[in-house]
């Protein structure tokens, strides 16, 4: 069974996959006694809640400008068969200086140079924030993924990132976490749609075992581009799990391990010490 939703958007999540990330070698979370030293990534993945909906919607608008209809995130967050995952980190000083409203504005809104737009941004940033004193969300959301579960199938409906967060392995991380949650939910296979022209994303999905099984013509509303339908083999099979675990280890080796639902970190082997 394959689901169709006009809001499916995957193509914005993966860019510059080979870019590096600076890791803090002084981080006390580095581990000894394993086959490789792993640094903890500053990002983690958690389940999104209804309180995150405004920020998720702003990320969607930034990642997929001009796409209609938008995903009904607020509705999906209340669905029993829906799950949204958010890649988060602590707020940085520069993030806080933007102000809570400006921080979640879309890129297009920020670049609008009309006088009225500039005035509105100033009012939002200074006057309204001062009067209302809205609270920032507890953590900064860099990107998110949405899934539906129907019968024995998990369907990835969206993966979206802020533009400044691309090239950090976060899109792949969200895919990894989505696959893990599909397995946890006893899904047999996972499906998704991706733009036919998005070679980078298609290659990543192939890497994780997705295979092209069909084509939806004139699927994307902004330019009538076709969508490639991709599906995994059975994700709970021994062969798939062996392949998947190797890929997760490679991701952790490159980007650092990431705390996420069902995973609190690598097992720690006490380091050998001299003397008794």
Report the catalytic residues: 193, 205
Q: Which residue has the tokens 């696959």?
A: 179
Closest CA to 51 of 14, 81, 88: 88
Mention every residue, 6+ apart, whose C-beta is less than 8 A from residue 133: none
Q: The dihedral of CA 195, 200, 206, 208: what is its sign?
A: negative
Report whether 195 contacts 203 (CB < 8 A).
Answer: no
Q: Which residue has the tokens 């650092």?
A: 256
Dist CA 151 CA 2 (whole Å): 11
Rounded CA Rg of the chain: 20
3-to-72, 78, 90, 214, 229 alpha-carbon distances in Å: 16, 19, 35, 12, 10
Note the Cα 269 to chain centre separation in Å.
Answer: 30
- Reading the block at residue 80, the tokens are 């029993």
Element (H, E) at 189: strand 189-195
Question: What SS3 class is residue 218?
Answer: coil
Residue 272: CB atoms within 10 Å: 7
């Amino acid at each position: 069974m394959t689901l169709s939703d006009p809001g499916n958007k995957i193509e914005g999540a993966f860019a510059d996959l080979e870019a590096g990330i600076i890791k803090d070698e002084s981080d006390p979370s580095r581990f000894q006694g394993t086959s490789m030293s792993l640094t903890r990534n500053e990002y983690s993945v958690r389940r999104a809640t209804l309180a995150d909906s405004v920020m998720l919607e702003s990320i969607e608008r930034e990642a997929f400008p001009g796409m209609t209809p938008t995903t009904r995130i607020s509705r999906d967050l209340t669905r029993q068969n829906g799950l949204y995952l958010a890649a988060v980190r602590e707020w940085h000083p520069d993030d806080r200086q933007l102000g809570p409203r400006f921080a979640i504005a879309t890129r297009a809104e920020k670049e609008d140079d009309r006088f009225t737009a500039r005035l509105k941004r100033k009012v939002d940033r200074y006057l309204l924030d001062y009067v209302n004193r809205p609270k920032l969300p507890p953590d900064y959301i860099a990107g998110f993924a949405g899934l539906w579960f129907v019968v024995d199938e998990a369907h990835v409906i969206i993966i979206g990132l802020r533009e400044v967060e691309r090239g950090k392995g976060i899109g792949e991380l969200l895919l990894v976490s989505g696959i893990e949650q599909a397995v946890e939910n006893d899904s047999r296979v996972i499906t998704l749609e991706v733009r036919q022209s998005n070679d980078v994303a298609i290659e990543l999905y192939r890497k994780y075992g997705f295979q092209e099984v069909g084509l939806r013509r004139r699927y994307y509303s902004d330019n009538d581009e076709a969508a490639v339908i991709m599906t995994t083999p059975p994700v709970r099979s021994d062969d798939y799990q062996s392949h998947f675990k190797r890929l997760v280890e490679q991701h952790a080796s490159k980007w650092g391990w990431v705390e996420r639902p069902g995973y609190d970190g690598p097992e720690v082997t006490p380091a050998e010490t001299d003397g008794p």
